[in-house]
Amino acid sequence: MLTEKFAQTALVSAVVGAAYLAVAAVSPTNAQTAKPAVEKCYGISKAGENSCAAANGSHGCAGQSKVTFSGQDFKEVPAGTCATMKGEAKPFEGMNSKMKG
């Protein structure tokens, strides 16, 4: 009787363990679900390509910028890349003089 109970417990444990492994195999990991780090980069977006509202409130949504390279409009870029794109981490007045176009 003790051997039969042990066998049942072992079988239940094996089934539960297999079910856990199956769920873990199909569940996305944190690395797969984590969004990449981004930063706001002002003065690099072309007209109509901004990521969100203007800093000065001239418009309230993505894609509504009417001016190219405005210091009030930003694009979200991978973290740490704004300076290499000739942008600024904070809004500024006027146009981005580092950009051509």
User: Which pLDDT score is estimated for 47?
Assistant: 94
User: Which pLDDT score is estimated for 74?
Assistant: 96
Residue spans per domain, the chain = 2-32, 35-95
The answer to whether the CB of 75 falls within 8 A of the CB of 43 is no
Cα-Cα end-to-end distance for the chain: 85
- Residues 51 and 4: their CA atoms lie apart, in Å, by 65
User: Which pLDDT score is estimated for 11?
Assistant: 53
Strand ranges inside 1-101, DSSP E: 38-42, 74-78
- Residues 88 and 35: their CA atoms lie apart, in Å, by 22
The answer to whether the CB of 28 falls within 8 A of the CB of 68 is no
User: Which pLDDT score is estimated for 5?
Assistant: 61
One digit per residue, pLDDT tens: the chain, 101 residues?
A: 556 665 565 555 555 555 565 655 565 665 567 888 999 999 999 999 999 999 999 999 999 999 999 999 999 999 999 999 999 999 999 999 999 76
User: Which pLDDT score is estimated for 35?
Assistant: 84
User: Which pLDDT score is estimated for 34?
Assistant: 84
User: Which pLDDT score is estimated for 100?
Assistant: 79
Q: Tell me the whole-structure pTM to 2 decimals.
A: 0.64
